[in-house]
Amino acid sequence: MKRRAKPRLKGRPAGIFCPVSALPSRFGIGDFGPGAYRWLDWLAAAGQQYWQVLPLTIVDAAGSPYMSSSSRAGNWLLLSPERLVDAGWLEPADVGGRPEPAATIGYRRAARIKRRILGRAYRRFLRTADRRSLQRWQAFVARQQSWLEPFALYAALKDHWRHQPWWRWPAAYQTWSSTRRQVPPSVVRGQRFHTFLQWLFDEQWTALRSAAHDRGIRIIGDLPFFTPLDSVEVWQDRSLFQLTRTGRPQAVAGVPPDPFNPQGQRWGMPVYRWSKHRRHRFQWWQERLQAALGRYDLVRFDHFHGYVSTWHIPARHLRARRGHWVATPGREILQTLRQSSWRKRILVEDLGHYSPRAEQLRRGFHLPGTRVLIFGWSGLRDNIHSLPHIGPDVFCYTSTHDTNTVNGWWQQEARWYERRQVARLFLATSQLHWRFITAVYRSGARVAMVPVQDVLGLGSEGRLNKPGTKRRNWRWRLRPGLLTSRLARRLRHLTEANYDT
């Protein structure tokens, strides 16, 4: 079938942030199904050139994609049952006519629904798949074996031991090297099932990304800096992390107190043993970046400050303020990652603690940074988030997934001096979210980025995540019908009105 030509969009480079999990679907969580393709159509109608997503990796029990059990494996909750019906591996009756659920994600319910449906698809696939489909699956397994084999075994063991962390498994299974020599048959069957899920993820995401490219839309995704203790990376090679002989962290990662988090944040992930990474010429980092570049068009380096120094909190302490800064070999990592084209596909999240060294590292490698307009109203001349300081080497956001929405910030968090600065610039504060969107579009930023909640003018009910807390995060969903053609026309007008010919 002949592919249609990619459209050449003329307009101010701009994009929308929206997690895949937030898109409308019938199964408790957004996925790669019809709702995602309708979303792409709306983005194209709105003249958008970028779609930024959260990491597409497996989430933890609280729904956080930054605490994933694997930095490589795709989140099977995002698989579309409708696409499996189209492929012939499910009957329409297997999917049913479930109504659209509530406006928030229920991860446990979604997991029960998807796991049951995907189990049926797997059994039917084994019975009815044609030779070509089997060959595609086998080719994927062979191509991704280096990470897929340990991950699938780890996931199967998690299922077998009722989702307990690896350090609570029997001693013989607490390391990859010992487990691979004695895998029970039931676990082998589970391992095969998880390779099937990862193949489906690759197939469905590749098709959706191709559809985005057909509409002139590029995907921005994250490369998290840390990995949690309960992950296949730590289970597979403890020597890469600062752990005790029993596998417990000596220190954990976090950030110190700041104006936005007076107590700081204790993330709990183990910190790296840099001597081991150096010895292997940062091969682990190279593989992670290559995987991210294979999944996304642009990769955002999360927590870029970590490439200069990281905040180490002794594991025995429960408060982030008890930590200290430790230098990291970020320049060596970036030099090792250097390729002819990778820099053109990277942006960095340089928010939070401001460091001249991090800024120097970013500029030295010519990497675009991140600015957030709701941070730009202190009135201080050196505020890097204020409109006069926003230049062509940054992506500028109205707000982010870690902040309140523009309207939520204005209603609940803006200080008196910030309100004064906003009123001086905009004169009026009605429809404030559109005033912020317009300002970002008219700024000198390389790309204007807006979370979909700000496009909709939502308040704090649209907030996705509140750093430092563990409850009620990552649950927001986009209700069907909210993204109208009128909103699309308004955004397209902004892109065209601010196009520098």
Ranges of each domain in the chain: 14-496
- Residue 146 burial (CB count, 10 A): 9
* HEC secondary structure over 41-87: HHHHHCCCCEEECCCCECCCCCCCCCCCCCCCCECHHHCCHHHHHHH
Strand pairing report for 265-270 and 251-255: antiparallel
Q: Do residues 118 and 32 make contact, with C-beta atoms less than 8 angstroms apart? A: no
Q: Other CB atoms closer than 10 Å to residue 208's CB: what's the count? A: 22
- How far CA 427 is from CA of 16, 375, 485, in Å, comes to 26, 19, 29
Q: Whole-angstrom Cα distance, residue 263 to residue 247?
A: 28
CA angle, corner 312, sides to 271 and 57, nearest 5? 40
pLDDT tens by residue, the chain, 501 residues:
345 545 555 689 999 999 999 999 989 999 999 999 999 999 999 999 999 999 999 999 999 999 999 999 999 999 999 999 999 999 998 887 666 656 899 999 999 999 999 999 999 999 999 999 999 999 999 999 999 999 999 999 999 999 999 999 999 999 988 777 788 888 999 999 999 999 999 999 999 999 999 999 999 999 999 999 999 999 999 999 999 999 999 999 999 987 767 888 899 999 999 999 999 999 999 999 999 999 999 999 999 999 999 999 999 999 899 999 999 999 999 998 876 678 789 999 998 777 889 999 999 999 999 999 999 999 999 899 999 999 999 999 999 999 999 999 999 999 999 999 999 999 888 899 999 999 999 999 999 999 999 999 999 999 999 988 888 899 999 998 899 999 999 999 999 986 553
Task: Please report the pLDDT score of residue 100 as a whole number.
Answer: 61
402 in catalytic set:
yes
- Could you give the CA distance from residue 35 to residue 25 in angstroms, rounded to a whole number? 6
> What are the C-alpha distances in Å from 305 to residues 261, 284, 468?
17, 19, 18
Sort residue 379 into left (φ over 0), alpha (ψ -120 to 50) or beta.
left
Q: The domain 14-496: what is its CATH number? A: 3.20.20.80
Secondary structure of 455-473 in HEC code, one letter for each residue: HCCCCHHHCCCCCCCCCCC
Which residues, in sequence order, are bridge partners of residue 394? 369
**Catalytic site residue from 349, 350, 418, 454:** 349
CA angle in degrees (0–180, nearest 5) for 365-296-292 = 65
pLDDT at 1: 38
pLDDT for 499: 58
Q: Which residues of 301-338 are buried (b: 16+ CB within 10 A; e: fewer)?
A: bbbbbbbbbbbbbebeeeebeebeeeebbbebbbebbe
- Name residue, tokens 């049951």: 116
Classify 138 in phi/psi space as left (phi over 0), alpha (psi -120 to 50) or beta. alpha
Which candidate in 202, 203, 222, 402 is catalytic? 402
> In 3-state terms, what secondary structure has residue 4?
coil
Q: How far is CA 25 from CA 21, 38, 101, 321, 431, in A?
A: 9, 11, 8, 42, 29
CA dihedral 325, 326, 330, 333 (to 10 degrees): -150
Per DSSP, 5 falls in state P
Q: Quick one: CA dihedral 83, 85, 86, 88, positive or negative?
A: positive
The residue from 100, 302, 359, 393 that is catalytic is 302
Query: What is the Cα 221 distance to its own chain's centre?
Result: 6
Question: 217: how many CB neighbours lie within 10 A of its CB?
Answer: 23
pLDDT of residue 8: 52
